Structure 1
Amino acid sequence: MSVTAPRGFEAAGVAAGLKATGKPDVAVVVNRGPLKTGAAVFTSNRAKANPILWSQQAIADGVVEAVVLNSGGANCFTGPFGFQTTHQTAERAAELLGVSAGDVLVCSTGLIGTGDEVFRAKVLAGTAEAIATLSADGGDDAAHAIMTTDTVAKTSTLAGDGWTIGGMAKGAGMLAPGLATMLVVLTTDAVLDAAQADAHLRAATRVSFDRLDSDGCMSTNDQVTLMASGASGVEPDPTAFRAALAEVCTSLAIQLQCDAEGASHDISIEVIHAASEDDAVEVGRSVARNNLFKAAVFGNDPNWGRVLAAIGTTGADFDPYAVDVSMNGVRVCSDGGPDRPRDEVDLTPRATHVLIDLKVGDASATVYTNDLTHDYVHENSAYAS
């Protein structure tokens, strides 16, 4: 049931005609309370879509009654008309739910730079239809309605000590951090105030969505929202709740990685013995964004020299001539030189693990990425056609 697994939530997903396929394209998730706590993190791209501009204002008071999401159109770079469309979407949902428009967040995903009266009419009609069909069993329908190039819906749930967390996500491309590069809705029936929700969400995204760097491209529409209904009546242990939320977010992030556009390898880049966590992330990300390395993995070539060349561009504290690199369990580089023969490395499985030992400290981090394939280039060259 994803976002409706926790008590106090209803959801729906409907087909409003935004997608040429006729598949569901408008989703609504509503918090029935008794608490209406909310927190959200957004893309740090300076080019922000109209729903981001609206939601950043709406979340300021830490109250969220509902989230309206549409696929089939990003409503980005559509001028004043586009912002009015987002505003009217929140107003329509608020009117039908009997709440304030300022407590309704809006999310959109799809092609940038398109939007007209027909688009607006379909979004508004879809919002009304979704609200009319809200149910405690509607989480899966909502998860399918936010898909674009996704091939599967992404959902996750986790039961805690008297409370539950649920989540849904969409994303199959433009997965790079800053702060969260996809659309995600998280729900919980735990008792949280706005400050707690914000702190837990930022801590969880930092070690999950922020570590997903599929293609190094940052979107304009990315938003992760957490809503807490308090319907369980349980105030969770902060440490346990934060760990559980991070687990749900990591599950969703891995699902996004595994559905990345055109990918044939899911690559986990684990950096150990770094001087700091920031150094570990910087090193891992430098490899994740290196097209030569990603192309080599696509060709099943354990070219560890490209790993060293990539990390040498960072400002992290390490000696490149002391680094070890292992690929799928085979140490191919030791102390900056050749170790085991390359032909011992099997890169034919989809799951690919790269271990980089910097040998300077105790910090570690893992960054998740994918290979660079012909299918990725084709899919993104024909995206708007």
Structure 2
Amino acid sequence: MSVTAPQGFEAAGVSAGLKSTGKPDVAVIVNRGPRDTAAAVFTSNRAQANPIMWSKQAISDGSARAIVLNSGGANCFTGSFGFQTTHQTAERAAELLGIGAIDVLVCSTGLIGTGDETFRTRVLDGTERAIAALAADGGERAAAAIMTTDTVPKTAVRARDGWTIGGIAKGAGMLAPGLATMLVVLTTDADLTPEAADAQLRAATRTTFDRLDSDGAMSTNDQVTLLASGASGIVPEPDAFGEELQALCLDLAAQLMRDAEGASHDIRIEVVGAASEDDAVVVGRSVARNNLFKTAIFGNDPNWGRVLAAIGTTDAEFDPYDVDVTINGVRVCTQGGPDRPRDEVDLAPRDTHVLIDLRVGPDAATIMTNDLTHAYVHENSAYSS
């Protein structure tokens, strides 16, 4: 049931005609309380969609009762008309739910730079019909309604000590971090203060969604939202809640990676022996964003030279001639030179593990990415057609 697994939540997903396929494209998730705690992290892209601008204002007090999401249009670079559309969406939802517009968050995803009266009418109509269809088992329909080029919905649930966390996510391309990645809604019936929710969300996204780097392209619409109803009546032990939230976010991030546009390999780039965690992240991300490395993996070529070339572009602390590289359990490079023969590496499986040992310190980090395929190029060459 994903976002409706925790007590106190209802959700729905309907088709409003935003997609030519007729598939669901508007979702509404409502927190019935008693708490209305909310926290969110947003894209750090300076180019931000109208829903991001609205939601930043709406959540500034640490509370929200509902979130409206649409696929089939990003409502970005649509001027004052677009912001009015977002505002009217929140107002329409608020009127129907008997709450204030400032208690409604809005998210959109789809093609940038398009939006007209038809788009607005369909979003408002979809919001009305989704609210009329709200149900305690509507989480799966909401997950389907936020999909764009996704091939499957992404959902997850965790439960512990009498409280539950649920989540849905969308994203298949334009997956690069900036505090958040893609559209994600997390719900919990744990009793959290706004300060606790914000701290827990930021800690979880930092090591999960923020470590997912599919194609180096940061969206204008990225938002991860946590809503807490408090309906369980339980104030969770912070470490326990943080552990479960991190696990749930990691689960969703892995689902996003597996469904990346056209990908044939899911790649975990694990960097160890770093002087700092930041260094490990920088090194891992340099490999994740290197097209030569990504095409090599697509071609089942364990070309470790491309790994060293990529990490050599960073300012992280290490000696390029004292680095080990292991691919799928075979150490192909040691101390900056050849080790085991490349033909010992089996890259046929979809899951691919690259281990980089910088040999200078105690810190580590893992970046999740995928290969660069013909299918990815084809998908994005015709995205707006």
SS of the aligned residue for 2:28 comes to strand
SS of the aligned residue for 1:234 comes to coil
**1:201 equivalenced with 2:210 (yes/no):** no
Q: Within 1, Cα distance between the matches of 2:255 and 2:119?
A: 30
Q: Which residue of 1 aligns with 2:58?
A: 58
Q: Within 1, Cα distance between the matches of 2:217 and 2:281?
A: 17
Moved more, 81-90 or 357-366: 357-366
Which residue identity does 2:161 align to in structure 1? D
Which runs of 4 or more aligned residues in structure 1 lie more than 4 Å from their structure 2 counterparts after TM superposition? none
Q: Within 2, Cα distance between the matches of 1:93 and 1:5?
A: 22
- What aligned pairs does 1:370-381 form with structure 2 within 5 A after superposition? 370-381=370-381
**1:153 equivalenced with 2:153 (yes/no):** yes
SS of the aligned residue for 1:99 comes to coil
Q: Which residue of 2 aligns with 1:310?
A: 310
**1:225 equivalenced with 2:248 (yes/no):** no
SS of the aligned residue for 2:221 comes to coil
Which residue identity does 2:321 align to in structure 1? Y
TM-score (norm 1): 1.00
Which residue identity does 2:369 align to in structure 1? T
Q: Within 2, Cα distance between the matches of 1:21 and 1:347?
A: 36
Which residue identity does 2:100 align to in structure 1? S
SS of the aligned residue for 2:270 comes to strand
Which residue identity does 1:136 align to in structure 2? A
Please report how far the alpha carbon of residue 228 of structure 1 lies from its aligned counterpart in structure 2 after TM superposition. Answer: 0.2
Q: Which residue of 2 aligns with 1:184?
A: 184
**1:277 equivalenced with 2:277 (yes/no):** yes
Which residue identity does 2:234 align to in structure 1? V
SS of the aligned residue for 2:3 comes to helix
Q: Which residue of 1 aligns with 2:16?
A: 16
**1:333 equivalenced with 2:333 (yes/no):** yes
Which residue identity does 2:268 align to in structure 1? S
Q: Which residue of 2 aligns with 1:214?
A: 214
- What aligned pairs does 1:109-258 form with structure 2 within 5 A after superposition? 109-258=109-258
Unaligned ranges ≥5, structure 2: none
Q: Within 2, Cα distance between the matches of 1:130 and 1:376?
A: 33
Q: Within 2, Cα distance between the matches of 1:261 and 1:222?
A: 17
TM-score (norm 2): 1.00
SS of the aligned residue for 1:215 comes to coil
The size of the alignment, in residue pairs, is 385
Q: Which residue of 1 aligns with 2:294?
A: 294
Task: Write the deviation string for residues 25-75 of structure 1: whole angstroms up to 9, x where unpaired.
Answer: 000000000000000000000000000000000000011100000000000
Which residue identity does 2:281 align to in structure 1? V
SS of the aligned residue for 2:333 comes to strand
Q: Within 2, Cα distance between the matches of 1:333 and 1:222?
A: 37
Please report how far the alpha carbon of residue 181 of structure 1 lies from its aligned counterpart in structure 2 after TM superposition. Answer: 2.1
Please report how far the alpha carbon of residue 22 of structure 1 lies from its aligned counterpart in structure 2 after TM superposition. Answer: 0.3
Q: Which residue of 2 aligns with 1:37?
A: 37
SS of the aligned residue for 1:68 comes to strand
**1:347 equivalenced with 2:344 (yes/no):** no
Q: Within 2, Cα distance between the matches of 1:181 and 1:49?
A: 14
Which residue identity does 2:237 align to in structure 1? D
Task: Write the deviation string for residues 275-334 of structure 1: whole angstroms up to 9, x where unpaired.
Answer: 111111010000000000001001000000000000011111111111000000000001
Which residue identity does 1:319 align to in structure 2? D
Tell me the percent identity: 78
SS of the aligned residue for 2:285 comes to helix
Q: Within 1, Cα distance between the matches of 2:181 and 2:198?
A: 17
Q: Within 1, Cα distance between the matches of 2:258 and 2:63?
A: 33
Q: Within 1, Cα distance between the matches of 2:278 and 2:45?
A: 20
Unaligned ranges ≥5, structure 1: none
Task: Write the deviation string for residues 242-299 of structure 1: whole angstroms up to 9, x where unpaired.
Answer: 1110111000000000000011111000001111111110100000000000010010
SS of the aligned residue for 2:292 comes to helix
Q: Which residue of 1 aligns with 2:267?
A: 267
Which residue identity does 1:305 align to in structure 2? G
Task: Write the deviation string for residues 57-102 of structure 1: whole angstroms up to 9, x where unpaired.
Answer: 0000011100000000000000000000000000000000000000
Task: Write the deviation string for residues 339-384 of structure 1: whole angstroms up to 9, x where unpaired.
Answer: 0000000111111100001111111110000111110000000001
Task: Write the deviation string for residues 208-247 of structure 1: whole angstroms up to 9, x where unpaired.
Answer: 0000000000000000000000000000000110111011
Q: CA RMSD in A?
A: 0.4
